[in-house]
Structure 1
Amino acid sequence: MLKNTAPGAQRWAIRAAYAVPLVTLPSGLWRLALAAGLPVTSEPLRTGWGVAYVLILTAVTEGLALLTLGLVQPWGEVVPRWIPLIGGRPVRPLAAVVPALVGAFLLFALSLLVGFVQGRNLADDVLTDTRAQTALLAVCYTPLLAWAPLLAVTAIAYYRRRTTLAPAPEEVLERAFSAKS
């Protein structure tokens, strides 16, 4: 188990939480390539506002993805002391779980919407972008489909760990052995 994980965090939940920033990384790199003027699409960004938007979108996306780590690290259970006014206070489970599950739902809905819109515009994209550009876009953005389910299962594991819903490990073992007797 990693040193800086919360006590009681399950190994699969830790892996899911650490996977979230990794699944958002390829799309961020693709957007950075677009902002740098690399030929990842047939239409380069023409304005400074377009570049600023892409850079801000990338920073916000990675920042939100990194917040998932709070569901398996100690700073997701007790607010770090360096944060003014609330530092050192415990995090209420619902204060972390509700935004995480709302975010997972919004990500899922957004992926359905984008998939629908992209499906309708696919013919136009294929005519303007090269096959390599279209393939690169697909390779970079497909991992984002895993963000919503990874976030949801990590949030549920956090909730179960932080509330009385999850039985203590001793209770689980006791039930397992008493059922066989």
Structure 2
Amino acid sequence: MSHGPVLVGVDGRSGSGKTTLAAALVDRLSPFAEVRLLALEQMYPGWDGLAAVTDDDGPYVAALRRLAAGAPADVPTWDWHEGRPGPRRTVAPADVVVCEGVGALCRGARSLLTLGVWVDADDADRRTLALARDGEVYAPHWDRWAAQEERYLTDHSPAHAAGLRVRLH
């Protein structure tokens, strides 16, 4: 019996620990399987781009469909330093694909994911960690990104769709 790839979505608000958890999953699983990381942060078209990526017809869900079928996925990237689209990137199929970022558990992705993980954290801790990590670049955009996250939480209810909820800090 042949099984398709394992697709894991790791979602949570900015600064919650998604990237840390996803990196640990990739690290721990890599000795046993071919593992890829699909970071949604590379796909958002700028600071106002969360909805564009999480739309049912957006690039993230399209990539998941291809990867679930065992095919490579061609995804857009964003050049955060230049503030414009970057080169497209091909994500090769793998035994396990860890999809990490705000939006990973959007409605359109859920039926394609093997497991959805929601990473929780207190708001004050999230802000402290996110700004410590990306301070000068992120600080001016924190409020506008947080507003997009709020809309995403309302529209998609990702925490309720997760098969697993964790708190890293």
Q: Which TM-score applies when normalising by structure 1?
A: 0.23
Q: Which has the higher strand share?
A: 2
Q: Which has the higher helix share?
A: 1
Bigger CA radius of gyration:
1
Q: Which TM-score applies when normalising by structure 2?
A: 0.24
